[in-house]
Structure 1
């Protein structure tokens, strides 16, 4: 067989293997399962993602249709939805104790913030996360939860609906080097940090909206609802 034919066959073989790895990428299934299984376990409500599309070579890609349902006792079906999330991680680190995530960028998430007699839906989610975090501290060895370092986490163009009666736009959330100093953070610790930041941004936005309403003398009912939340 001529060398040119051998080279051509080798090239076709490489192309075939590369194509198979791309369309049968185990990384996509692994990340999807981790998000849905650990996310649901941690928040004690349903977490789902429609599609994960990450390169098996450099770990760059995106998630589509991420949704976090509300805990029981709340009327709105979901607490958080995002159509697209940009993600970049180190594929080799998935087999290590600490997963290195270079980038998580979420654009235009849809957030429902609901309050009932027991508090808000995010209060309930945070309690569930804290409960999971407390239990995970007792686990050791292979049973211990994976840790991660997130170099850049950004949530932009945040849209929040408060109690079905008020739409707000929150300032962007930007966090850097999460877990780096401690040698890695658990999923529960990351979630706790994000919820705390979200609560802070929301409280500021609600306070500004209440002040504007008071000055303009409009939306008194909404203003009273906001006041009750801020006095919680």
Structure 2
């Protein structure tokens, strides 16, 4: 009996130690899970500076969330957030589906970069299948299923860069709405990225068109002004030349008649 109690005590201590280890390392585990799932889904590095999870308070904060530019583009972040604050339904932690009730973004930023006719956002989207594949019948390993309510990313600031623009143009890319999604972390990365990037590409494409139109109009106005200036200068030169010729002719006539 004592031996059995000893075994039970050891098991309790091991479980307790495991729980303590899990809680103490939860931030790092979540950070690595986000980076791994995001990178696998998007095909470009996804990084998070730090994560702070408060299970008791039903919240989590991601700091320095960034998606790197895909290969073939500049060595900059394509997208970044100073902070993502996540609200968690505490009751769902004991269920099969963990529910995230809201996500608040701080200082969202997007770089829309074009090389020729290709953009960095389209390069990422080209990796996505035409439609989301059905879930595997037998997943390779236990993965949490997460449900996220519909959310909106407000006030996205952007920078437009193109080999057809002499300099970067800063613009406001507006707001992006994302419908409710559910799946494993990697599935969520694709489900969120698809509507997010689609709307960003449309907003940024319109902004890029306006920027290029403004640049072309500026060049036309500059060329027109230069032609007008050159024409005025040439007219002045011709007027001065004509005046000199008239004066020379008059003086020649005076010399001939002895005036």
Within 5 Å, which residues of 2 pair with 1:199-210? 199-207=201-209, 209=211
Residue 108 of structure 1: aligned partner: 107
Residues 2-57 of structure 1 show CA distances to partners (whole Å, capped at 9, x for unaligned) of xxxxxxxxxxxxxxx9xx96x95443233212210000101111111011112022
User: Any gaps of 5 or more consecutive residues in structure 1?
Assistant: 1-16, 221-232
Shift of 1:147: 4.7
TM-score of the pair, normalised by structure 2 = 0.62
Q: Give the conservation status (yes or no) of the 8 Å contact 2:157–2:174.
A: no
Distance change >3 Å, CA 168–CA 219, structure 1 → 2:
farther
Q: What SS is found at the alignment partner of 1:111?
A: strand
Q: Point out the more displaced range, 87-96 or 98-107.
A: 87-96
Q: What SS is found at the alignment partner of 1:73?
A: coil
Residue 196 of structure 2: aligned partner: 194
Shift of 1:123: 0.7
Structure 1 position 139 matched with structure 2 position 136: yes
Distance change >3 Å, CA 24–CA 54, structure 1 → 2:
same
Q: What SS is found at the alignment partner of 1:79?
A: strand
Shift of 1:219: 6.4
Shift of 1:85: 1.2
Residues 91-147 of structure 1 show CA distances to partners (whole Å, capped at 9, x for unaligned) of 66567654311111212222111112461111111122338955xx36322238765
Larger Rg: 2
Shift of 1:162: 0.9
Q: Point out the more displaced range, 40-49 or 124-133.
A: 124-133
Q: What SS is found at the alignment partner of 1:141?
A: coil
Residue 228 of structure 1: aligned partner: none
Residue 156 of structure 1: aligned partner: 154
Residue 178 of structure 2: aligned partner: 175
Which has a greater percent of strand? 1
Structure 1 residue ranges (4+ consecutive) displaced by more than 6 angstroms after TM superposition: none
> Partners of 1:71 and 1:201 in 2: how far apart?
20
Residue 63 of structure 2: aligned partner: 64
TM-score of the pair, normalised by structure 1 = 0.68
Q: What SS is found at the alignment partner of 2:194?
A: helix
Shift of 1:205: 3.4
Structure 1 position 218 matched with structure 2 position 215: no
User: Any gaps of 5 or more consecutive residues in structure 2?
Assistant: 1-15, 162-166, 221-259
Residue 128 of structure 1: aligned partner: 127
Residue 233 of structure 2: aligned partner: none
> Partners of 2:122 and 2:93 in 1: how far apart?
31
Paired residues in the alignment total: 195
